[in-house]
Structure 1
């Protein structure tokens, strides 16, 4: 199931991110904690170069805590801090300012030595669609400034936002990259809603998700949908899930579309428990 989705505005966003990098002190990159590598735009490393960076593993409440901790340890480097967050509840957000100040300490010490007393920290917020950038900015600003939605591509224009902790944020639209070399990356992005459902075969996508879950988290499927057991065949499992949920058409046939939509919605809402699709 080959997946690629790269609207024209994303190429423009990539150029603007590169142009605006000189306006900020640091970059805040937001990833989905469930798909830490799949939600990492490979262009970001190239664009941001040696700019100090904070990586937020957002939606951490939907991932496996143990695996998220392993990712934090793995990704942390000299000029990169990693924080697990939940932009809806605000979990972890208070750690951002101290992390930024630590990353920028040498620069600020130099500015203070020159007599500058008032220093404004400016950071650019980047990430792929639907990782929670707008929710993050709204929480940081304590206001409904950025548009939010459960569909990718809501934010289209760059905008500066003043936050309640004295940091100015430059918001940018979510940006993917032109080609997914690994099919699993495209699938993970689609599972979590980073790619619009409208361009997908939703039934095939749900079937692929069942294949992954029956391999990695079989007990979650059994417990959530009250199944007696799992079949080796994902389609049979999908049909059993549909029957358990009453997704049946006249004549007793399974309503595959209804089953698929239900399964994806429940997975994305965390109703199957904490799940990490990318592991070290």
Structure 2
């Protein structure tokens, strides 16, 4: 039995949204309290040589990589490496680059038997622990030394030193995810949430799915149409999630009060559909996306 008609929008006829309704959301409530434990003073970092590692490069649209680098250089970030820690791609560049930065920052050696301790700092759920494990695989041929996870908040305290290289002798410190004390805007918060830096339920899975749909359509990234066998691109999240739920057999029984009493009806599970939509995006199934394209 068909539960409801197939209602989809045609890209040629759809009235695409010109903006996303932010609705006065309080972005400060989205970010977990454990981040405060990992707060690092910006002025302290400014005194140390530092390297910006942009991980998960396999998920990003890097067609305009030079523009990205130029934009970062304009913000004072001149040492940048793109990596994919799952496949250990470009990871071998990190330690030689770090050593070059250290060598250019200090004019003398403190002793013959040197060891280095590097702190890994970054936004939640960007692969800091995966980076440490990848470095160990590359340089020590050893397995995991730190726990990883697909949600923010897996690392909740600064861990003890973890060796990642023998020559030179180098240790890394894994730290909890940190963010700026104030998020610039609700839309910035939504972008961070789409990347998994916030627990989904704090923002709302359907809200995130709606912002994702808006973003994909805005940039004409329509991989979701083929992935879910939609009849065409659509700007209405309810219609998309309804179709996804039925296709994945994600339904739920709901009691509805009628004039003759309670009646159990089968309805699409919008939350389950939203979760699948977000998972597809974060795993790269919907294609490579750069959320900050407008910044360049």
What's the TM-score, normalizing by structure 1?
A: 0.79
SS of residue paired to 2:152 = coil
- Answering whether residue 259 of structure 2 is matched by residue 258 of structure 1, we say no
Distance 1:178 1:6, change over 3 A: farther
Q: 2:192 aligns with which of 173, 189, 193?
A: 189
Once residues 45 and 275 of structure 2 are traced to their aligned partners in structure 1, the CA distance between those partners, rounded to angstroms, is 37
Kindly name which structure, 1 or 2, has the bigger radius of gyration based on alpha carbons: 2
SS of residue paired to 1:222 = helix
The answer for unaligned runs of 5 or more in structure 2 is: 1-21, 137-141, 254-264
Runs of 4 or more, structure 1, over 6 Å off, are none
Structure 1 residue 176: Cα displacement: 2.5
Partner of 1:135: 130
Partner of 2:148: 148
Partner of 1:25: none
Distance 1:86 1:180, change over 3 A: same
For 1:1-280, list aligned pairs within 5 A: 1=22, 2=25, 3-4=27-28, 5-14=30-39, 17-18=40-41, 44=42, 46-76=43-73, 80-108=78-106, 110-112=107-109, 116-141=111-136, 142-159=142-159, 160-165=161-166, 166-249=169-252, 251=265, 253-279=267-293, 280=296
Distance 1:172 1:260, change over 3 A: same
Once residues 67 and 198 of structure 1 are traced to their aligned partners in structure 2, the CA distance between those partners, rounded to angstroms, is 33
Q: 2:222, 2:233 within 8 Å by CA — same for their partners in 1?
A: no
More helix per residue: 1
Q: 2:32, 2:198 within 8 Å by CA — same for their partners in 1?
A: no
Distance 1:254 1:214, change over 3 A: farther
Once residues 256 and 100 of structure 1 are traced to their aligned partners in structure 2, the CA distance between those partners, rounded to angstroms, is 47
Q: 1:214, 1:221 within 8 Å by CA — same for their partners in 2?
A: no
SS of residue paired to 2:64 = helix
Once residues 167 and 47 of structure 1 are traced to their aligned partners in structure 2, the CA distance between those partners, rounded to angstroms, is 21
Distance 1:105 1:192, change over 3 A: same
- The two structures, once aligned, show a CA RMSD in angstroms of 2.4
Q: 1:120, 1:167 within 8 Å by CA — same for their partners in 2?
A: yes
Structure 1 residue 12: Cα displacement: 2.7
**Higher deviation after alignment, 74-83 or 197-206:** 74-83
The answer for unaligned runs of 5 or more in structure 1 is: 19-43
Once residues 243 and 216 of structure 1 are traced to their aligned partners in structure 2, the CA distance between those partners, rounded to angstroms, is 27
Distance 1:243 1:218, change over 3 A: farther
Once residues 258 and 249 of structure 1 are traced to their aligned partners in structure 2, the CA distance between those partners, rounded to angstroms, is 10
